[in-house]
Amino acid sequence: MSTSTARDTGTVEFRITGYAHPDAQTLSAEVQQEYVRRYGDPDETVMRSEDFEAPAGLFMIAYLDGRPVACGGWRAKQAGPDGLRDGDAELKRMFVVPAARGRGLARAVLGRLERTAIEAGRTRFILETGTEQPEAVALYRSEGYDAIRKFGIYKEHAQSICLGKELAAAV
């Protein structure tokens, strides 16, 4: 748990909560509605709370003046089809509520998630986003994420974009 002051805002606190936490579930429901607005349907990726518990993963929420406003998590992946490797960590459910956007919270959550993955021995972050999330793509590109082979249930979808970043280089 850590606290900092976000630009132009009050106090921001980052808490590792787990995916089953009520605030995580509320934010996840909000991100699902965001997907419906942008793509017409929610994300159908299977999300199990145990995948986001140490040592297999982690889920974090940023609180702004005590209100949950941003989240993200990662879950460990192993070598498998579509170029997945031992040591991979898949980034999931990165989201900032509309009222808190533009304050650097997504970048702050991403940086903290990267550090926790490195500490857990993960060597690469991978993620799937989409063409209708240009601000997310811009964030990831600005943080050193590059195109990787598509994976997951949306790998055949034209709107799917898969990115990855070697974490060892980020240390």
Q: pLDDT truncated to tens, each residue of the chain (171 aa)?
A: 555 544 555 899 999 999 999 999 999 999 999 999 999 999 999 999 999 999 999 999 999 999 999 999 999 999 998 999 999 999 999 999 999 999 999 999 999 999 999 999 999 999 999 999 999 999 999 999 999 999 999 999 999 999 999 997 554
pTM of the model: 0.91
Predicted pLDDT of residue 10: 82
Check residue 6 and give its pLDDT: 46
Domains and CATH numbers, the chain: 2-170 (3.40.630.30)
The answer to whether the beta carbons of residues 73 and 52 sit under 8 Å apart is yes
pLDDT at 81: 85
